[in-house]
Amino acid sequence: QMNGENVGGYFDLDTSTINLVLSQGDDPGSALDYREEMMYVHEYTHALQDANFNVLDLFHVAYHQPEGDVALRSLIEGDAMFTQHLYMNAALGVHPDTQSILQMTLLDANTLSSLPVPPVILSELYLPYLDGMNFVKALYQVDGWETVNAAYDNPPVSTEHILHPDRYLAGDMPIEVEIAPMPDILRGEWTLVTTGTLGEFYLRQYLSTQLDRMAVDQAATGWGGDRYRLFYNVDTDQRAWVLVSVWDTPTDQAEFSAAYAAFMTERTNRQPISYDGADCWRAVDGVYCLHQTDSLIVGYAPSLKEAIALVNFQVQ
């Protein structure tokens, strides 16, 4: 429903056709109004991307890497949004009276919704369009369209690349993080649901439920890579997970560790207890433990025994 409310148009990759939702009362064959022109520019950019860069093939490669998929979508939608932005500036030079319409279109044609939705969902919608546009703008400022076009041959692979274009331009690639399988204490009752990379964007969303923007920015900047495993106990309908993250510098790791401690203290309204080398917090839903080595390990499980086992199994 949320996406349906905001679809002003779309490019169909399967049929290579542009589809627009015309304003109420427009007849087929009528000239597009300025708002519709903006939507057409956006979708026409997608058509050009498909014709020149084999977008479907790029998505097939990124499909099994969620972080890479989000980053690729941010390049593609950001490219279309930035092209809209350039078109808007050109249109204002010819038709200054259209300024209010065109400025509104940049934001609401593709992503905004009047429905009450959780902040993380809105952030997920904004990222490819608004952060993606800033990413493409940063590439454009290097050497124009040549740098933007080159990104399709070497797509961004992480949300860190999108949030920090300088990291992408510097060739700073995410570190591959090794994560151990299920500890013995979970075997038999628990099953592995999924494993993957959380990434800087979702770390930010997680921390922002308890911390202010400045604290989140300081904590998440410097992300180097991560890997998580999510487990499920069908008999008790409970979940457990472990996240292993690495950071660009020891300072970055220390900042995230301090922020996570503040996050958990705020969330549980309790100070941590030290147990078997980890700091642990008891919450209503279970126990969270933080352990530092050359990486940061966070584990969650219904009991302290299980949470510690998840964390310490990664230390071995």
**What is the pLDDT, as a whole number, of residue 62?**
74
**What is the pLDDT, as a whole number, of residue 264?**
98
**What is the pLDDT, as a whole number, of residue 25?**
56
**What is the pLDDT, as a whole number, of residue 188?**
82
Neighbours of 25 (CB within 10 A): 6
Say which amino acid occupies 7. Answer: V
Q: Is the pTM of this model over 0.85?
A: yes
**What is the pLDDT, as a whole number, of residue 189?**
86
**What is the pLDDT, as a whole number, of residue 20?**
83
User: Which residues, other chains included, contact 157 with Cβ-Cβ below 8 Å and sequence gap of 6+?
Assistant: 65, 67, 68, 71, 173, 174
Return the domain boundaries, the chain.
Answer: 2-169, 184-315
**What is the pLDDT, as a whole number, of residue 207?**
98
**What is the pLDDT, as a whole number, of residue 110?**
45
Mean pLDDT, the chain cut into blocks of 10 residues (316 residues total)? 59 87 66 81 94 90 83 97 90 62 51 68 91 97 98 97 98 95 86 95 97 97 97 95 98 98 97 95 97 96 95 88
What are the Cα distances from residue 53, in Å, to 50, 153, 192, 234? 6, 8, 37, 44
**What is the pLDDT, as a whole number, of residue 118?**
85
Name which of 4, 28, 45 is nearest 129 in CA terms: 45
